[in-house]
Amino acid sequence: MAPSKKASSSLARPSQKSKPQAAPPPNWPAFKPLVPTCDLSLSPVVPSQIVVVRKFWTAALCRDYVAFLKGLPLTTTPGKPKKGEALRVNDRFQVLDEAFANRLWIETGLRELICGRDGEEGEEEDEGEMSKEQRRELWGGDVVGLNPSIRIYRYTQGQFFDCHYDESNVLTLATKPTPTPAKTTWTLLLYLTSPATGCQGGETVFYPDDLPGKKSVVDKEIVVSLETGMLLLHKHGNDCMLHEGREVLSGEKWVIRTDLCVRR
Ligand SMILES: O=C(O)CCC(=O)C(=O)O
Ligand SMILES: [Fe+2]
């Protein structure tokens, strides 16, 4: 079913081009407690399109982050989107913070999960692990880190993110000694709240494509319900599925958003 309620246009794109606010990097709390990386795993929801990592962050870490994020200067999106952009009604904080993106990439075990454990190339068959080539195919290249553009979303009752496609962006990571030319290939959403913390609604829902000539990878909607600490990854750019963040019915939905970056 192609969604129509509230839709300005299902072809609309989220506002990736709007300039990040010149906010100073926050003094983000430490990532603890964390679960051991070996307890984390990628669970495919739609093969090659949507992957989740359940309990990527512990409930205690999510709770502490929400308490911290509440103190940031979030701004409510104006209700009327620019032409061609999806209607998004939520409170948001955006910052360019490469140090935080790197911490999120390395300290949480995400790099290991996405790229595989170092030096174990060739052993993957025994463990049912992906080969380097399979990973490259899945993620759209050699993943080099996360998009330093960090977005924090808070949706309160009645807020939502209307149907849209996420774009791929070209960027240069400030790596040492030389910068790394990169592009984004997958959206990364980390849910910090769920029904367990009093948030009802707010599911991320993926739909069969409504673009003429584009073959859908699914024939019915895929509903990803909020789980505290769950990471949702989905392919974006040309292969992005039409999706929305459903209206929050009660409580607050908190999300950290960034993207996977591959070498270009
Ligand atoms: O909040 C959600 O569930 C969806 C967010 C989203 O689609 C986006 O950030 O592009
Ligand atoms: Fe999106």
pLDDT tens sequence across 146-169: 999 999 999 999 999 999 999 999
> Which CATH fold topology does 45-74+89-116+129-252 show?
Jelly Rolls (2.60.120)
- 223 to 76, 158, 170: CA distances (angstroms): 25, 18, 29
76 CA from centroid of ligand 2 (Å):
17
Nearest residue by C-alpha to atom 2 in ligand 1: 245
Whether the CB of 257 sits within 6 Å of ligand 1: yes
- Two tokens, residue 87: 């209607």
Residue closest via CA to ligand 1's atom 10 equals 166
Query: What would the mean pLDDT of 77-92 be, rounded to a whole number?
Result: 75
Question: Would you state the pLDDT for residue 19?
Answer: 52
CA 134 – CA 163 distance, rounded (Å): 30
CA 149 – ligand 2 centroid, Å: 14
Tell me which of 21 and 107 has the higher pLDDT.
Answer: 107
- Which of the four pLDDT bands, split at 50, 70 and 90, describes residue 7? very low
Distance 166 CA to ligand 1 centre (A): 9
Distance CA(61)–CA(41), nearest Å, equals 18
- In angstroms, the CA 40 to CA 54 distance is 8
| ipTM, 2 dp | 0.99
